[in-house]
Structure formats: C-alpha cells, structure tokens
Amino acid sequence: MFTQCREFRGRILVAEQDGEIIGYCTVQANFISSEIEDVDAEFAYVSDLMVLEHHRRSGTGRALLSQAQDYARTQGTGYIRIDVLAANTVTRSLYQQDGFEEFAIQLDKQH
C-alpha cells in the first residue's frame, strides 16, 4: 500500500473517533493501468475503503470516499475508479448513490 502510494501519488486517509481509528481509505491519484479495456489508462483508483463494522452506516465511508475524490481532483485527475464485490450490495449502493457506474463485470466459476 505504501509502495503504491509513492508510485502513484497516493494518500491513505484515516477516520478517527475518540482517538480510535475507525476506518481508512487509500487513493492513488494517477494510477496507470495496463488492462486492455481501459480506454483512459490513467485514472485515480480507490484501492481500499474500510470502516469497522460497528461504525458502518454512520457516514464514515461516505466521508472517506468524498475526501479521496477531493484529493484526486487536487492532483488533476478527472476520472476515478473503485472496485466492489458483487455480493456487497450495501457498499455498491453507496458507490452508485455517489455517481459511480458499472464499468466491467468479472465472472468466476469453480471447476
């Protein structure tokens, strides 16, 4: 995480409450992708967003995501991406309410 922050002008944002870390978010301001489906190969990438379970639904995740986007904007990045597991409907809803749209869908199968 620290190596990626150095390489891609990233930041680790931390949420605290009463001296306790309750969540964090890592954003890479100029992430460079080598994936063939990436038309614009340079974008901001939120690689981690985590809030302790007993602090979820408190606005902490939304605040961290907002700070990540603000940081990306200050670095001149106009496009931001974040990943989420398909089964994580609560988090997907948070991202979609913030304006994120589906970009790629990955399918897995055990064989």
Number of alpha carbons in the 13 Å side-chain half-sphere of residue 41? 5
Q: Would 64 be classed as within a structural domain?
A: yes
Number of alpha carbons in the 13 Å side-chain half-sphere of residue 64? 31
- Please write the tens of the pLDDT for every residue from 14-36: 999 999 999 999 999 988 776 66
Q: Would 86 be classed as within a structural domain?
A: yes
Question: pTM of the predicted model, to two decimals?
Answer: 0.85
Q: Into how many domains does the chain fold?
A: 1
Q: Would 104 be classed as within a structural domain?
A: no
Give me the CATH number covering residue 21: 3.40.630.30
Q: Would 106 be classed as within a structural domain?
A: no
pLDDT at 106 > cutoff 70: yes
Q: Residue 9 belongs to what domain range?
A: 2-97
Residues 6+ apart with CB under 8 A from 27: 10, 11, 13, 44, 45, 46, 47, 68, 71, 72, 80
Q: Would 109 be classed as within a structural domain?
A: no
CA 49, CA 76: separation in Å to the nearest integer? 21
Q: Would 107 be classed as within a structural domain?
A: no
